[in-house]
Amino acid sequence: MQNKEQLVAVYGSLRKSLHNHSLLAGSEYIGEYITEPIYDMYSVSGSYPGLIQHGSTSIHMEVYSVTDVVATNLDRLEGYKVGQEDSNHYNKVTVDTPFGKASLYIYNHSVKSMVKVESGNWVSFKEYVKTLMY
């Protein structure tokens, strides 16, 4: 099986310095960018964000080049399975980034009772929440 590279855009717990970033170990960091204001981000139980389309917030993203093995591990983390789009925790879409087309995980549940991350930046949101705890 050939192990080809593909781009993935991450916005939450997979970003640098956050708890799931180790899943990207060995992956090439391509760069970061801020999206157009076409998404909204919500805090899912305070542990990780859920991103939805058709919003009004610009989102801070990091883009990585990952192998098939890493992509499969990311799918597992995000609760994504091809053909189960109705029941997945996140669904995967392809988006244009300044670095090329990349996979992006979109939250697949209601965000009705969740806190919106107005800044669109999960890293700064988590830092802000820490200050409230002390």
> How far apart (Å, rounded) are the C-alpha atoms in residues 50 and 11?
9
> How far apart (Å, rounded) are the C-alpha atoms in residues 103 and 90?
12
Annotated catalytic, 36?
A: no
Contacts of 11 (CB under 8 A, 6+ apart): 41, 49, 51, 59, 60, 61, 62, 104, 122
- Among residues 32, 62, 78, 118, which one is catalytic? 78
**Catalytically active residues, by annotation:** 78
